[in-house]
Copies of this chain bind each other. A is one copy, B any other.
Amino acid sequence: MSDIKKVVLAYSGGLDTSVIAKWITETYGCEVVTFTADLGQGEEVEPARAKAQALGIKEIYIDDLREEFVRDFVFPMFRANTIYEGEYLLGTSIARPLIAKRLIEIANETGADAIAHGATGKGNDQVRFELGAYALKPGVKVIAPWREWNLNSREKLMEYCEEHNIPVDFNKKGKKSPYSMDANLLHISYEGGILEDPWAEAEEDMWRWSVSPEAAPDKAEYLELTYSKGDIVAIDGKDMTPAEVLTYLNKVGGAHGVGRLDIVENRYVGMKSRGCYETPGGTIMLRAHRAIESITLDREVAHLKDDLMPKYAEMIYNGYWWSPERIMMQKMIDASQETVNGKVRVKLYKGNVIIAGRQSEDSLFDASIATFEDDAGAYDQKDAEGFIKLNALRLRIAAKKGRSPL
Contacts and interface: CB of A to CB of B under 8 A. Distances in A.
Of A345, A363, A364, chain B has the most CB atoms within 10 Å of the CB of A364
Contacts of A401: 362-364
Interface stretch (A30-38, A227-235, A245-253, A303-311): A303-311
B214 A367 contact: no
A9 B138 CA distance: 37
A1 interface: no
Contact of A213 (B269, B349, B396): B349
A175 interface: no
Contact of A393 (B271, B306, B395, B398): B271
Interface residues of A, number: 128
A265 interface: yes
Interface in A64-91: 81, 85-87
Of A273, A290, A381, A401, chain B has the most CB atoms within 10 Å of the CB of A381
Contacts of A351: 349-352
A12 to B, nearest CB: 17
B136 A406 contact: yes
Tallying the copies of this chain within the complex gives 4
B397 A366 contact: yes
Contacts of A214: 218, 220, 349
A326 to B, nearest CB: 8
B403 A324 contact: yes
A400 B134 CA distance: 10
A368 to B, nearest CB: 9
A403 B138 CA distance: 10
B332 A198 contact: no
B121 A382 contact: yes
B310 A306 contact: yes
A391 B264 contact: no
A70 to B, nearest CB: 18
Interface stretch (A45-53, A54-62, A157-165, A372-380): A372-380
Interface of A: 81, 85-87, 101, 120-122, 126-127, 130-131, 134-139, 142, 144, 146-147, 152-153, 180, 191-192, 196-201, 213-214, 218, 220, 260, 262-266, 269-274, 290-291, 294-295, 298-304, 306-307, 310-311, 314, 320, 322-325, 327-329, 331-332, 335-336, 339, 345, 347, 349-352, 354-359, 362-367, 369-372, 374, 379-401, 403-406
9 contacts: A122-B369, A138-B396, A196-B370, A214-B349, A264-B291, A266-B394, A303-B310, A324-B398, A327-B335
